[in-house]
Amino acid sequence: MNGNRAVSDVIGFVIVFSLVAATVGIVSVTGIGILQDARDAEQVNNAERAFDVLADNMADIHQEGAPSRSTEIKLDSARLEVRAPVEINVTGVDPSGTNPNVSYSAVPIVYEGRGDTAIVYEAGAVFRDSPQGGIVSEKPPFRFADGEVIIPIIQTQQMGNATSVSGGTIRVRAEQAVREPLAEFVQREAAYDALIVNVTSPRYRLWKRYLEEDADATCTVTRPETVQCRIDDPKRLAVTRTLINFEFEI
């Protein structure tokens, strides 16, 4: 009898120990995954806040005329890099049929961490971009109100040789190179029937959403990664461009 009880105690102990070990193992595996996801999400949120500061510093240059600004971005295991330039084209629909246009490129600054979400500074805007979609975290410095159309084109251009950096804290140093109004698009009383804005960018869907909502523009996708938006009957018009050179300082 005592032998049966001893065997039962041993079996019970083994079963309880196995359950405890399995529970600890499951919690450890899933818990580590959850903690990793939370850490990655917080890093992206911190990067987004840093890019908002970057956009503010860039605005000091193109709006206030500051000669230069520097922005520190903590990377840890993430990386900061430049990508292929995006293109912004503005065309005036002139009743005479001349239809003047200007076209400028801008080099995006992209933050990428462990996940699939990227933070992008592009032509004055900040985007939080992912394969599942994205949002406009910081709107471009355009203005559409009461018939007034103001479009500052922020033409970022990279200096130096570092196109991709990672680890530690990186400084993005930017300086003004050119700041000018575009004469054919500065009109106290607009002479154009409409203004057409073309944006060629991997984030064309976010540009489309922004221009439809803020400019009440009619937008169509005309070719891969290009959105064309028509803004009808502008009353006052100002299109400027600012060339900003930037580099990564390690």
- Categorize the per-residue pLDDT at 23 as very low, low, confident or very high, splitting at 50, 70 and 90: low
Neighbours of 221 (CB within 10 A): 12
185 is a domain residue: yes
Reported pTM? 0.84
Domain with 179, as residue range(s), is 37-249
243 is a domain residue: yes
Looking at residues 96-102, what average pLDDT do you find?
Answer: 92
28 is a domain residue: no
Look up residue 147 and give its DSSP letter: T
Centroid of chain to Cα 88: 16
Q: What is the pLDDT of residues 179-230, one digit of tens each?
A: 999 999 999 999 999 999 999 999 999 999 999 999 999 999 999 999 999 9
Neighbours of 93 (CB within 10 A): 17
Tally of domains within the chain: 1
160 is a domain residue: yes
Burial 35-65 (b: 16+ CB within 10 A, else e): eeeeebeebbebbbebbbebbebbbebbbee
81 is a domain residue: yes
Question: In angstroms, rounded to a whole number, what is the distance separating the alpha carbons of residues 151 and 185?
Answer: 10
Residue 246 has pLDDT above 90, yes or no: yes
Q: What is the pLDDT of residues 70-80, one digit of tens each?
A: 999 999 889 99
Question: In angstroms, rounded to a whole number, what is the distance separating the alpha carbons of residues 221 and 212?
Answer: 12
142 is a domain residue: yes
Looking at residues 174-180, what average pLDDT do you find?
Answer: 96
Higher model confidence: residue 64 or residue 11?
64
198 is a domain residue: yes
Residue 35 has pLDDT above 60, yes or no: no
The chain-wide mean pLDDT, for the chain, equals 89
202 is a domain residue: yes
